[in-house]
Chain A
């Protein structure tokens, strides 16, 4: 149980275009989803926290107009990288938590490799 999927697993796009990444919790309802970014050979950096039906909370230094997050349902969150540039190339990982009281374990998706040319 507790499976999180991401789509696509890899995407290549041209500079200036927008890319949408989906994160789905397959067998549980996710009250909260998180989006992380991982640069090569580095740890994961939290970008934003999204709760179903409300606006995402962005970490300091993350441009909310560039990284649009929508958490429209309890099983789906999307991250849209708008007007992508080569420096946005990275590994993006989402996680989801059912938010059961006393247990905040996050279940991670397999990640999406974004390359902007």
Chain B
């Protein structure tokens, strides 16, 4: 079984300040973890992924996430928010072990205030 929890449904930050979007997971197997971004009325874009290599993963647009097994977390961060970062962010887990389905978190809407 696998699940993912995004702790905040909405996050609001000022432009130029750090971003933290939280994600906790559970999985019976060593998981693969992903962060996707969705802009309004658009599809999903992969920001970054963790697949059992380095625990600190760097993605596109300055985002990064750290896999912490002891905390079962995979929080998404960015040092300085940009207006274009305003979007919906989804944390996704795949439990591997031959199980191809992924499980989506409920999403976090990021608002960036000028």
Give A75 to B15 CA distance when docked, in angstroms: 42
The count of residues in chain B whose C-beta lies closer than 8 Å to any C-beta of chain A is: 21
Task: Specify the chain B residue showing the minimal Cβ separation from A45.
Answer: B104
Is A32 among interface residues, defined by CB-CB distance under 8 A? Answer: yes
Residue in B32, B43, B49, B94 whose CB lies within 8 Å of A108 = B43
Give A105 to B42 CA distance when docked, in angstroms: 19
**Which residues of chain B come closer than 8 Å to A110, judged between CB atoms?**
42-43
A-B Cβ contacts below 8 A, count:
49
A43 near B106 with CB under 8 A, answer yes
Task: Specify the chain A residue showing the minimal Cβ separation from B97.
Answer: A104
B107 near A43 with CB under 8 A, answer yes
B104 near A44 with CB under 8 A, answer yes
Give A46 to B99 CA distance when docked, in angstroms: 14
Give A72 to B42 CA distance when docked, in angstroms: 27
**Which residues of chain A come closer than 8 Å to B43, judged between CB atoms?**
6, 93, 108-111
The count of residues in chain A whose C-beta lies closer than 8 Å to any C-beta of chain B is: 23
Give A105 to B107 CA distance when docked, in angstroms: 19
Task: Specify the chain A residue showing the minimal Cβ separation from B95.
Answer: A104
Task: Specify the chain B residue showing the minimal Cβ separation from A49.
Answer: B101
Give per-residue flags for B24-47: 1 if the beta carbon is below 8 A from chain A beta carbons, else 0. 000000001010100001111010
**Which residues of chain B come closer than 8 Å to A34, judged between CB atoms?**
101
Please judge, given known A-B contacts A43-B90, A93-B43, A103-B51, whether A49 and B100 are in contact too, CB under 8 Å: yes
- Interface residues of chain A, those whose CB is within 8 Å of chain B, are 6, 32, 34, 42-44, 46, 49, 91, 93, 97, 99, 102-111, 113
Question: Can you list 22 A-B pairs with a CB-CB distance of less than 8 A?
Answer: A42-B106, A43-B105, A43-B106, A44-B44, A44-B104, A46-B101, A91-B41, A99-B100, A103-B32, A103-B51, A104-B94, A104-B96, A105-B32, A105-B34, A105-B46, A105-B94, A106-B102, A107-B46, A108-B44, A110-B42, A111-B42, A111-B43
